[in-house]
Amino acid sequence: MNHAELEALAADAYVYGYPLVAGLTMVERFTRGGMGTLPAAPFNHFSHATRLAAPGDDFVSVNNDTVYSIAQLDLSEGPQVLHVPDTAGAYYVLQFVGAWTDNFAYLGSRATGTGAQTWLIVPPDWHGTPSDPARVIEAPTRVATVVGRFACAGPDDLPRVRALQDGLTVTALEPGGLVAGLPEPDPDVPERLAFFERLRVWMQAFPPAGPDVEYEQRFAPLGLLDEDISPYRAAVPDWTLTLLKGLAAGRERVEDATRPPEDHPAGEWRSALHLFDYNVDHLGPGTLDDPEWRIPDRRAGYLSRAAAARAGLWGNHAYEASYAMTYDDSDGRPLSGAHRYTLRFDQPPPAEAFWSVTMYSVPDYHLVANPIERYSIGDRTPGLVYGADGSLTLTLQHEEPTESAEAANWLPTPEGEFRPIIRLYQPKPSVLDGTYQVPPIHRR
């Protein structure tokens, strides 16, 4: 295999493996140090946020609508019993994510209702006999993540949410098992090749879906199938340079997939309706096993999976929560805090649960610090001023408006470029079939 072929193969490997490396790196971070509002917690224990997300929380495109409860599962200890409290009709979702970032199950308001529930989470190919076969969730990989989101209307609503978090527990079906954790990459591999080393070690530990195994065999010339001694510890310079060129090309391919198309209509909100449809192999409780929600081309699915991990790691399928974003105004100009804008909804966005618009700075996609500590705005925001016809006009600008109605409807922007995201929780059919279009943002 010549250098050009090897470089192209390395680029393919980056696109294919980025979600595994990004996801498990985040798993590692949660178990060792925590992140933002979530303290560190060992495997098979929930970490509960005690507040809504805020600026400084280092998570890409984090929402400010829900309080998080996240557990990293390691089913090498054996099956885990999950207890979910009664939320008395309030919105919540527990999203189950495999090591390859596949969303393989959902519990919650949309999927299973808001009453108290008990489920058994089992490892791949488990052969035990559950007491209730209808309440079993089979994970596709030994390590998985549970991302819990409880709707929270603001600081005054936190005591209610904390009581629900206290009732959310995971315990071993048979205590006394050992947790294997994540295998350690070779510490002697230089940092510039750390991605390939992590991919090599974690690919072995967490086999993909059956149809992907053959695709992985292509990566043997890259050393990714080497099982014992790492080929990256003392890699020859020419080979290393080729791998790094391929890594850069793969990274650029993923970044391109997260950008809006150059020929998109001015002011269009780019929907992510099918960004998370790459899981076609492990569809458990709460998922929709329907061709509409499957990417039929596996190669296209790899790129979508990588883009999802880059722009919104551990995001939901659109039928649970639909996201759309925009980078420019109605005239096609980049959105910037140097200008003032309005976003007018003639009718409320069609969501069964609730909706919001959240502000993010570019290029880090973090929440924007501001004097009124408002990071998102939506139907639960107190004091919004509606028009006589039921319309709602939001004000997007850096400085606080002087007019009272505009100040009530103000979503602060950063000084520089920004990207808002609209989220519709339990979106209605007009969202999912694409007929509903978010109105463009107008520069004043």
Residue 374 in any domain: the answer is yes
Per-position DSSP letters for 228-285, written without gaps between them: SS-TTTT--HHHHHHHHHHHHHHHHHHHHHHSPPTTPPTT--EE-TTTTTT--S---T
Instruction: Identify whether the C-beta of residue 33 lies closer than 8 Å to the C-beta of residue 25.
Output: no
Count of CB atoms situated within 10 Å of the CB of 80: 26
Looking at 270-346, list the stretches that DSSP marks H as alpha helix, in order from N- to C-terminal side: 298-312
Q: Tell whether 159 and 222 lie within a shared domain.
A: yes
Residue 271 in any domain: the answer is no
Residue 385 in any domain: the answer is yes
- In this prediction, residue 229 has a pLDDT band, given cuts at 50, 70 and 90, of very high
pTM of full prediction above 0.85: yes
Checking if the pLDDT of 311 tops 90, the result is no
How many angstroms separate the Cα of 83 from the Cα of each of 35, 163, 166?
24, 14, 11
Q: Tell whether 304 and 421 lie within a shared domain.
A: no
pLDDT digits (tens, 9 = 90+) for 409-435: 999 999 999 999 999 999 999 999 999
Checking if the pLDDT of 261 tops 90, the result is no
The CATH number covering residue 48 comes to 2.60.40.1610
Q: Tell whether 353 and 402 lie within a shared domain.
A: yes
Least confident of 215-224, 253-262, 272-281: 253-262
3-state secondary structure of 341: strand
Could you give the CA distance from residue 218 to residue 263 in angstroms, rounded to a whole number? 35
- In this prediction, residue 218 has a pLDDT band, given cuts at 50, 70 and 90, of very high
Residue 172 in any domain: the answer is yes
Checking if the pLDDT of 59 tops 80, the result is no
Could you give the CA distance from residue 339 to residue 131 in angstroms, rounded to a whole number? 61
Q: Tell whether 183 and 47 lie within a shared domain.
A: yes
Q: Tell whether 206 and 86 lie within a shared domain.
A: yes
Identify the pLDDT of residue 264.
82
Instruction: Identify whether the C-beta of residue 37 lies closer than 8 Å to the C-beta of residue 53.
Output: yes
Residue 367 in any domain: the answer is yes
Q: Tell whether 300 and 381 lie within a shared domain.
A: no
Checking if the pLDDT of 58 tops 80, the result is no
For the segment 182-197, the average pLDDT, to the nearest whole number, is 97
The CATH number covering residue 396 comes to 2.60.120.1600
Q: Tell whether 61 and 6 lie within a shared domain.
A: yes
pLDDT digits (tens, 9 = 90+) for 284-310: 999 999 999 999 999 999 999 999 999
Number of domains in the chain: 2
- In this prediction, residue 359 has a pLDDT band, given cuts at 50, 70 and 90, of very high
Q: DSSP class of residue 386?
A: B
Could you give the CA distance from residue 259 to residue 392 in angstroms, rounded to a whole number? 29
Residue 46 in any domain: the answer is yes
Identify the pLDDT of residue 214.
94
Identify the pLDDT of residue 173.
96
Q: Tell whether 376 and 310 lie within a shared domain.
A: no
Q: Tell whether 74 and 186 lie within a shared domain.
A: yes
Identify the pLDDT of residue 56.
82
Identify the pLDDT of residue 272.
81
- In this prediction, residue 37 has a pLDDT band, given cuts at 50, 70 and 90, of confident
Q: Tell whether 432 and 335 lie within a shared domain.
A: yes
Q: Tell whether 359 and 306 lie within a shared domain.
A: no
Identify the pLDDT of residue 425.
97
For the segment 268-285, the average pLDDT, to the nearest whole number, is 94
Instruction: Identify whether the C-beta of residue 97 lies closer than 8 Å to the C-beta of residue 313.
Output: no
Q: Which two tokens stand for residue 124?
A: 């791949």
Q: List, in order, residues 6 or more apart from 367 with CB less than 8 Å away.
A: 53, 54, 55, 57, 62, 64, 358, 359, 360, 361, 375
- In this prediction, residue 139 has a pLDDT band, given cuts at 50, 70 and 90, of very high
Residue 166 in any domain: the answer is yes
Domain range for 104: 1-261+296-314
Instruction: Identify whether the C-beta of residue 416 lies closer than 8 Å to the C-beta of residue 341.
Output: no
Q: What is the residue whose two structure tokens read 């006009």? A: 393
Q: Tell whether 252 and 348 lie within a shared domain.
A: no
For the segment 341-354, the average pLDDT, to the nearest whole number, is 97
Per-position DSSP letters for 7-39, written without gaps between them: HHHHHHHHHHHHHHHHHHHHHHHHHHT-BTTB-
Identify the pLDDT of residue 439.
97
Residue 285 in any domain: the answer is no
- In this prediction, residue 263 has a pLDDT band, given cuts at 50, 70 and 90, of confident
